[in-house]
Amino acid sequence: MKRYLYIPLVFLMFSSAMRAEKIPLPRFVSLRPDEVNARVGPGPNYPVEWVYLKTGLPVEVTAEFDTWRKIRDSENAESWVHQSMICSKRHAIVQGGETILFGEMDINSRPLVRLQQGVVVELLKCRDEWCQIRIYDFKGWIPRKYLWGLYPHENIG
């Protein structure tokens, strides 16, 4: 009987060790729900400094403490959020003024739509100087330099 109890215990030890594997820091993630409490410290007893109200908002994880993640947003504001409030699906924010979403990876290709600064877009692929994004029903390419939420030489997809 005791032998049968050891097998599940060994399995649980190995599975929790594999979940504890560290993901590199810093890294970009997105906010999961449409309302996220940003706290001054890593825990529910720390006061809420402000509330994020945008699903998919890209943030950079800069530190970890237990189940809490220190994040930095596009305005360089830092706060702590619970790990359940973030997801690995990638989004970006249009920066640097109004820009155009192109049909191909070429500024001479067909323009699809104008994007205003501050718009949150879904990142699909990034290669070299171009990123493929989706916003509503539009899917196209934008120069990487107009996006916040990824590293300069990071390839996605």
Per-residue model confidence as pLDDT tens digits over 28-73:
999 999 999 999 999 999 999 999 999 999 999 999 999 999 999 9
Supply the pTM of this predicted model: 0.84
Please give the full DSSP string across 74-133, using - where no structure is assigned. TT--EEEEEGGGEES--EEEE-SS-EEEESSSSTTS-EEEEE-TT-EEEEEEEETTEEEE
The band of 99, judged by pLDDT with boundaries at 50, 70 and 90, is very high
The band of 23, judged by pLDDT with boundaries at 50, 70 and 90, is confident
Structure-token pair, residue 2:
């005791």
Q: Per the omega criterion (within 30 degrees of 0), is the bond before 143 cis?
A: no
Q: Does 11 score more than 50 pLDDT?
A: no
Helix (H, G, I), strand (E, B) or coil at 46: coil
- In the chain, the percentage of residues whose pLDDT exceeds 90 is 85
The C-alpha atoms of residue 57 and residue 127 are separated, in whole angstroms, by: 22
Per-residue model confidence as pLDDT tens digits over 106-127:
999 999 999 999 999 999 999 9
Identify the pLDDT of residue 21: 57
